[in-house]
Structure 1
Amino acid sequence: MTGEPDNLVLVYLRRIDEKVDRLIDDVNDLKRRVPGVEENLAGVHRRIDRLELRVERIERRLDLADATH
């Protein structure tokens, strides 16, 4: 029995500890990456807003805009 652990509970606790460490690394990675995604999404929204304004201006120039605008 030389290769077997002394305490099975300790083996499971070590495995849980390793998994928690991996989860912590994954969460830290996400914390670093999410702000960049949010910034890029905000940029996309700004571009869409500008495009909407340009389309509205074009529609007005071509008298294609609804009377409700």
Structure 2
Amino acid sequence: MTGEVENLMLEHLKRFQATLDRMDRRQEEIIGRLANLEGSLASMMGHLAHLAGADAAQQLAIDNVNRRLDRIERRLELSH
């Protein structure tokens, strides 16, 4: 009877160990995927910063064109 209880306990422990092994593998997979997401997010933030810089440069160019146009209109007395 004692041998049967020991075998039953051993089988339960093996199942627990197998479950823990699966959970460890899954956790490692999730950590890897999270690291990939963090890398992607950092890359996207870099792209957004670049786009914001390009937008600021375009706005500056538009402002310069507007100032020049205003000056030309004043010289030609086209402004009202």
Query: Do the two structures share a fold, i.e. TM-score over 0.5?
Result: yes
Q: CA RMSD in A?
A: 2.1
Matches within 5 A, 1:1-16: 6-7=18-19, 8-16=22-30
2:62 paired residue number: 48
* Equivalent residue number for residue 37 of structure 2: 23
- Taking the aligned partners of 1:34 and 1:61, their CA distance within structure 2 comes to 40
Distance in 1, matches of 2:24 and 2:79, equals 72
If asked which structure has higher relative contact order (CA below 8 Å, sep 6+), I would say: 1
TM-score norm. by structure 1 comes to 0.63
Aligned to 1:3: none
* Matched residue count: 61
Which runs of 5 or more structure 2 residues have no equivalent in the other structure? 1-17
Inter-partner Cα distance in structure 2 for 1:23 and 1:65: 55
TM-score by length of 2: 0.56
What CA distance in whole angstroms lies between the structure 1 residues aligned with 2:79 and 2:28? 67
